[in-house]
Amino acid sequence: MKALGDLKKYKAFLLTLLVCLISSTAFAKKESKELLVFAGAGMRLPLNEIGKKFEKKYGVKVVYDYEGSGRLGNKILVGQSPDVFIPGSDKWAKILKEKGHVKDYTSVAYHTPVIITPKGNGKVNSLGDFLDSNNRLVLGDVKACAIGGASAAIFKKAGLEESKMNVRAKGQAVKQLVLWIEGNNADASIVWKADAVQSGKVRIVDIPEQYNFKSIIPVCQMVTHKKETNEYIHYLLGIEGKAIFKKHGFEVVE
Amino acid sequence: MKSLSFDLAVSLIAGIFVCLIVLPMLALFTATSFGELINQFRSPLVLSAIAISLETSLIVVLLALCLGIPVAYLLAMKSFKGKEILDTLVDLPICMPPLVAGLALLILLGGNSKFGSMLRNCGIDLIFSKKGIIIAQLFVSIPFLIKSARNAFESINKNVINASLTLGASKFYTFKTILLPLARNGIYTGMIMTWARALGEFGATSMVAGCIPFKTETMTVAIYQNAMSGELAASTAVALLLLVFSFTLLLIFKSRVRGQAG
Amino acid sequence: MEMGIVLKEISKSYDGLTVLKNLNLEINQGEFHVLLGPSGGGKTTTLSVMAGLTEQDSGSVSIGGRDVSNLSPDKRRIGFVFQDHALFPHLTVFDNVAYGLRVRRIKGHEITRKVEYYLSKVSIAKEKSKFPHQLSGGQKQRAALARALVIEPEILLMDEPMSSLDAMTKESVRDELKSIQQEIGVTTVYVTHDQNEAILLGDRVSVLNNGRVEQIESPSELFHHPKTEFVARFVGIKNILKVSPIRINNHEATVQINNDGLEHPVSIRVKKYPVFEKRKSIDLCIHPERIMLKREDETYAGDLNRIRGKIVKRTNNGNGFMAIVDIGGMTLHASISSDFKVHENVWVCFAPDAPHPLCGKKCREPEQQRKCFVTTQVDRLKTEGC
């Protein structure tokens, strides 16, 4: 019976030790040189490249969290704290600045919407074709992703009523729209040019300048951030950073 | 003394479990208000989403019964080559991330697949329709019915089945008159779990369903969209409504089952 | 006579383990046949093969002259009573018994008539609306029996139906079973490991061991003339000597006992049997009542065999006392009076005509009416009208 009592003591001791270890490692991460960047999924390729180059130059590792802008914005609202936030449009930048999470933001590049269709599908060639009920469309959901808001703005500018369109599905993220068009599940969609170029498996139709709604990609510096953040943002907005963005099909802010 | 402390320890752990479940639920309440709840309850979009969710998930339960009970019977009663494989296949949808399942279904039934085109030529369009929702929900939730029904069949005394056979009953008659009634409780449990899983399904559904309001938008999608656009109060209100509806239906079903069990 | 059941060359293995090997069995029409044997001996498998619940690897089964080897159970016209009664838990007693009739689409009023007839035959008419879990063990078995009989099967198969009942219930159910079977005349195969049941119920008894039929006889023949050591031990014969003849005279033979474990071989004189001339190794048995124990200083008749031994145990078996004597690595059972005590050194004595061979044949001389322990038991059970 005494042995059993000893075992109990040991268990309590081990448990406490375990808890300490875990918490120490959890907190330890904050101390090491690492930047946390929340960014829209569409910017993965250029930002990854920038991250690697930055690490080489400054010795600071950049950790990215890529998701839909809406999801990332919500994560910040409920308490997560990245150092930098790069959404696909300024909608969330505005919301977070208002709520006091974002200190300031500067545009680095533009997201340009384009029409995409499955390869070999010539049914849709202009915005006007969106009104043809024979054309099955998939569009971004306004609530869930930045491209949704952008498409809505384009239709408004061009005087097209969305209620008259044959919209078969609402995408929760821009990548989902690309996936659907790649799989020939609809005749046309509107996505960011960068996503269309990255896919390579869809046909791109440009939208006329007068109707188009370019979305600025803001680089938001968060209110609480590490000191290395300044260097990172500087790098992003500098010549090298912008060149990388251009390479991946983004139009940069000169 | 020893047994008392053991019971105490077990109860404490159970208490931790209760906290694990109840506290997040309570947290939802704090994120919204009663006014918002009423607001959402009156919204035609939300009501339509509820209706679509309930409609599709209930159809899924029926389909799961038709498809799943024979599989459960096979696994419980017979031994055959490849039984291990069938057993693993049943577990597969549970282990698969729902998004992956959705992707798979999209590729299988979508615009680029021969199989999908074949179905479309017969007039069956599964992508971006309620049928798509049903397929996605069925895929992820049918294993629960199969596992539960299988356990129920297996726990029946084999001699009882043999007795039926020796009395001249065919295998089908035995299945209908002896196996099904005796497995009833297990099947009901399976139905509840299937329904719950189907109702809560989001990942696979969002890939193939389309999420068009009033047509193919389910409750889970509505909750997600509200949450994503920063309308936390609205999304939690919708989530709570879903919970209330599910609980109520569950209680009604369970009380009917208890009444019949006799 | 039309054969009730015929099994020919039945073999069955499970996972490489051979349970039945070339089993042959013929059961007469209307007979109450008992399959007796130890657990794992193959009796339940044999029953299962007859029913069609287990498919034999090879061999044929016929019932009532009809080859049913490939038929499923529902087509064989059998009635089966399971060891755990296997009543349908969700149906009342009435519905349980009516099940087989409903399967055959018998009309409602005919069902009621038949079910009530058989329910009263097994004396549970009052319980017809109860569910199985509300019945006692004995009542459950009666219901199971009624359920099997109501469909008027060609054969009735019963798998140790009384094993879960207490002694008193066993007696009453057993007696009723025998009289019902005799009244209805259905060919019955009854599996058990209990010798008493075999004696009291069977018209004939087959002893099964390791998937083979060792002997098949009427109960009294089985017990008086066991053919093999296994059967002998199973029916309760305790003293089996494995001997080899050394010298054979006109009337007597000297044989050496070489049972396993015996430290020193022992020679005894026995009456000469024809088999001594034919075989080098023979099994002899001695009934405990023919063995006398004498104390070391006592005198004894000169022509008796005499072996030194020590009493290791004493039991009371209702008929008197039995002493178990160690004669050097092997034990013998002797029937004694109360004087002897454990650890006493004794002489084990028996006449040369006390041991007799296990050959299953009836002894030629009518005087050889052995008053053996088992015989008295059989007679007692029979006369007490169980």
**Among all residues of chain B, which has the CA nearest to that of A182?**
B112
pLDDT value, residue A12: 67
Give yes or no for B206 touching A (CB within 8 A).
yes
Report, as an integer, the average pLDDT of A175-202.
89
Nearest beta carbon to residue B228 from set A70, A168, A179:
A70
pLDDT band per the 50, 70, 90 thresholds, residue A6:
low
Chains that touch B (3 or more CB pairs under 8 A): A, C
pLDDT per residue rounded down to tens, chain B (262 residues): 566 789 999 999 999 999 998 888 788 778 777 787 788 778 888 888 888 998 999 999 999 999 999 999 999 998 888 899 999 999 999 999 998 999 999 888 888 888 888 888 888 778 888 888 999 999 999 999 999 999 999 999 999 999 999 999 999 999 999 999 999 999 998 999 999 899 889 888 888 888 888 888 888 888 887 777 667 777 788 888 888 877 887 888 788 777 655 4
Q: Establish if C254 belongs to a structural domain.
A: yes
Chain B partners within 8 Å of A171 (Cβ): 211
Q: Verify whether the Cβ–Cβ distance A77 to B232 is below 8 Å.
A: yes
Nearest beta carbon to residue C53 from set B160, B162, B182:
B162
- Number of folded domains in chain C? 2
The CA distance from C341 to the nearest CA of chain B, in Å, is 49
* Domain of residue B13, residue span: 1-31
Last residue of a domain, one of C184, C199, C228: C228
pLDDT band per the 50, 70, 90 thresholds, residue A209:
confident
State the CATH number of the domain containing residue B238: 1.10.3720.10
Instruction: Answer yes or no: do C166 and C277 share one domain.
Output: no
Q: Give the residues across from C188 on adjacent strands.
A: C32, C156
**Among all residues of chain C, which has the CA nearest to that of B161?**
C86
C-alpha to C-alpha distance for C136 and C123, rounded to whole angstroms: 13
The CA distance from A119 to the nearest CA of chain B, in Å, is 11
Instruction: Split chain C (386 residues) into runs of 10 and give each run's mean pLDDT.
Output: 80 86 89 87 88 91 89 91 93 95 92 93 90 92 93 93 85 86 91 85 88 80 75 78 87 87 86 80 82 80 84 80 87 82 87 77 41 44 42
- Number of folded domains in chain B? 2
Percent of chain A with pLDDT over 70: 90
Instruction: Answer yes or no: do B77 and B166 share one domain.
Output: yes
State the CATH number of the domain containing residue C117: 3.40.50.300
| AA letter at B16 | I
Q: Establish if C166 belongs to a structural domain.
A: yes
Q: Give the residues across from C294 on adjacent strands.
A: C347
Instruction: Answer yes or no: do B149 and B25 share one domain.
Output: no
Instruction: Answer yes or no: do B15 and B101 share one domain.
Output: no
Q: Which of these, A152, A161, A154, lies nearest to A133 by C-alpha position? A: A161
Instruction: Answer yes or no: do C158 and C277 share one domain.
Output: no
Q: Which of these, A194, B159, A136, lies nearest to C47 by C-alpha position? A: B159
Instruction: Answer yes or no: do C258 and C375 share one domain.
Output: yes
Q: Establish if C57 belongs to a structural domain.
A: yes
Instruction: Answer yes or no: do B27 and B67 share one domain.
Output: no
Instruction: Answer yes or no: do C207 and C309 share one domain.
Output: no
Interface of B with C in 156-175 (CB under 8 A): 157, 159-160, 162-170, 173
Instruction: Answer yes or no: do C21 and C100 share one domain.
Output: yes
Instruction: Answer yes or no: do B6 and B104 share one domain.
Output: no
Give yes or no for C134 touching B (CB within 8 A).
no
Q: Establish if C386 belongs to a structural domain.
A: no
Give yes or no for B209 touching A (CB within 8 A).
yes
* Domain of residue C293, residue span: 237-379
Question: Encoding tokens for residue C380?
Answer: 């007692």
Chain C partners within 8 Å of B166 (Cβ): 51, 53, 73-74, 76, 78-80, 148, 157
pLDDT value, residue C385: 36
**Among all residues of chain C, which has the CA nearest to that of B180?**
C90
Q: How large is the C-alpha radius of gyration of chain C?
A: 25
Hey, what domains does chain A have and what are their CATH numbers? 34-109+216-252 (3.40.190.10), 113-205 (3.40.190.10)
Question: Looking at the predicted structure, is the pLDDT value of residue A8 above 80?
Answer: no
C-alpha to C-alpha distance for B114 and C311, rounded to whole angstroms: 90
Instruction: Answer yes or no: do C24 and C140 share one domain.
Output: yes
Chain B partners within 8 Å of A184 (Cβ): 110-112
- DSSP 3-state assignment of C14? strand
Instruction: Answer yes or no: do B198 and B257 share one domain.
Output: yes
Alpha helices in chain C (DSSP H): 43-51, 93-103, 108-121, 137-149, 167-184, 195-201, 219-224, 229-234, 275-278, 373-383
Q: Establish if C385 belongs to a structural domain.
A: no
Chain C partners within 8 Å of B178 (Cβ): 88
**B55, exposed or middle or buried, with CB in 10 Å at 0-12, 13-18, 19+?**
middle
CB atoms near residue C60 (< 10 Å) = 14
Q: What are phi and psi of A239, to 5 degrees?
A: -60, -45
Q: Establish if C150 belongs to a structural domain.
A: yes
pLDDT value, residue C367: 37
The CA distance from A218 to the nearest CA of chain B, in Å, is 18
Least confident of A144-148, A219-223, B61-65: A144-148
Instruction: Answer yes or no: do C299 and C195 share one domain.
Output: no
Instruction: Answer yes or no: do C332 and C291 share one domain.
Output: yes
| AA letter at A17 | L
Instruction: Answer yes or no: do C78 and C211 share one domain.
Output: yes
Instruction: Answer yes or no: do C157 and C180 share one domain.
Output: yes
Q: Establish if C95 belongs to a structural domain.
A: yes
Instruction: Answer yes or no: do B123 and B199 share one domain.
Output: yes
Give yes or no for C84 touching B (CB within 8 A).
yes
Instruction: Answer yes or no: do B189 and B216 share one domain.
Output: yes
Report, as an integer, the average pLDDT of A99-104.
86
Q: Give the residues across from C269 on adjacent strands.
A: C254
Interval B204-213: pLDDT, tens = 888 888 888 8
Question: Encoding tokens for residue B40?
Answer: 């959402």
pTM exceeding the 0.90 threshold for the entire prediction: no
Instruction: Answer yes or no: do B2 and B48 share one domain.
Output: no
Instruction: Answer yes or no: do C197 and C263 share one domain.
Output: no
Interval A41-57: pLDDT, tens = 778 888 999 999 988 88
Instruction: Answer yes or no: do B16 and B79 share one domain.
Output: no
Instruction: Answer yes or no: do B143 and B218 share one domain.
Output: yes
Last residue of a domain, one of C193, C228, C263: C228
Instruction: Answer yes or no: do C224 and C339 share one domain.
Output: no
Q: Establish if C72 belongs to a structural domain.
A: yes
Last residue of a domain, one of C190, C205, C228: C228
Nearest beta carbon to residue B168 from set C53, C87, C103:
C103
State the CATH number of the domain containing residue C284: 2.40.50.100
Instruction: Answer yes or no: do B13 and B128 share one domain.
Output: no
